[in-house]
Structure 1
Amino acid sequence: MLSAQAKGQRVVGSYVYWSDRAIRQTAEDNGIELAGRARWTAGLAGGFVQVSRAAQERLTRNRVEEARRIEKGLGASVVTELTTPPRAAFVSLSGQVSFARVQLRYAKNPGALLHLQLHTGAGRRVDVCLFGSMDCVRGFGPWDDFEDGWTSSEMPAIEELLRAEGTAGTAWVEDEQYFSLEALKVALCQGSTGTDEEHADHPQTRGFTVGHHETCSVFAEVYSDVVLDPQRWSHHADDPLADADRIIVGRPLWVRTQHPDRAIRYTDLRIGVRRPARWWPYRLRVRPRRPAATNILDEASSRPPWGLHH
């Protein structure tokens, strides 16, 4: 089933993640023309028919149309219902998207980790972990997170899985299930400084986390899509990985929301107030490097505001 955007219906909103590189590569690899076909004109000159390419007007870039062409051009390879068994090639999903920063060895710019947790109609949990670049993120900035807490020693292996687009395996002993679970662990536990219970339902208390948008449309290329063997993996009840079932790992092409102004910025939760509309003069103010992991929201109401509410 095509989304409203793929059907060409008018959808008001904003892209909070857009990867030109991933979109153009996908279009080129699949023979999809993003800007439409060239226009040609024919005329007579000196008794001969001359054909020339018509000059194109300079128009505002239409990202909605580019996204529609990609989604429509990929056709049946796009999975929209997660009841479809693995493995998906591309997914078009809707839900809450959380953003965090990750350190990638081979990237020149800070990496971004986007995470969605969804449930099928049958109640099965599906986690989607998408690795991209913070340069493609709109609405959040480098001042929205802090570096502290646990980081995964398996990131080099996860990076190899990403660089090989899911085909890596010769350099590592473990299999796809293992590294998919490790990718999910990074999404849910990176930046932890205490027990899982301390950070449960409070992602702002973990390092590297940036914020989330509650309702988004996400389009991504899939590198790995596995269903965990319940006989193989066991986690205690309070572990965020305890109910993990299906894990999809890939790269995001775009994320769009109809309400970009409703972004939940974790830096605001950490300092207890929301930024003023003109927040840029305050960026150089000194702030605590890391928040307390307990009762942060309760304490926030008693702190004096350093900016205006909006």
Structure 2
Amino acid sequence: MAVAGTLADIFRPQAVLEIDERFLRFTSEEAQMAQDALLAQSLMAEQRQIIKQPPRNTYKQVTIIKVDRAELVKNYGMVKMDPYCKITIEQSVFETPSCYSASTKPVWNRIIRCPTQSIIRSFLIEVMDENQFYADSRIAFCHVELTEEMMQSQEFHTLTLPLSGEQGEGKEGFLFVQVKVQDVEKLQSEIMAQMELAASVTHPPVSSESSNSTPASGPDTVDDESEVQYVPTLDEIKQLAEMFPTIEEQVIRSVLEATEGDMMNSINSMLSLTAQDDTATAPPQDTSTRIANDGAGEPQPVDL
């Protein structure tokens, strides 16, 4: 065991070393400003390089689900329920905000984008009741089957889904949703074809005679053109806005500017953004405790 020393040992004189006069000092204000400018330029260059080269897109399908409302047959518990929808696709879980004190008539009107790394044909929707003091309980559930028509049409389909639960199969009420399935590879190829067609119309090929007669530009002209920032067109912004209606126009414009109009990289970047945003739409409480009630301690149903 270490023994504390005496006061003489504690306050023993220490060695004093000289510090260079330039320590924590800059030679001039101009040098400091120059260093700050170089640092800012390097950070901006790194940020633009990261946006220009987004990670390789691994998604094959995007399922867009608009959860409108539900009509339930019974209110479980002594107080009005706070229902929310829990969507499970592959290994991913997406949730709508809770509709507080909605009881049997919740209205969400929420659009959820669910990107998947494989082609899916079905997914699970559960109507949950948010609880403050114990685990959330499952009110009802339904399995959604994606037909071949829904897979090929690339349009919204309105579905009225019967809910199953304690009352029996299809006897817990109805869930009203709209579903749209997008094939990412097919969507990218269509966008690229449209962009090539638009480029051929707006910029017709230049003949060899006109190209020979055009005077060669000097090095100053090349430098000026390389410094001009890319400005996205309204058609490009509109196309991406139709594909990603939940993303603001300013964000779409920034992505197009960063990728310099490369639609393939822009689509990949937007898919990554929507995947992060949809995961963040869950209610604020800890979702790790959200499990289906197995019946232990379940409150008795009360009709309201």
When the two structures are superposed, what TM-score results if normalisation uses the length of structure 2? Answer: 0.19
When the two structures are superposed, what TM-score results if normalisation uses the length of structure 1? Answer: 0.19
Where is the helix percentage greater, Structure 1 or Structure 2?
A: 2
Q: Highest Rg: 1 or 2?
A: 2
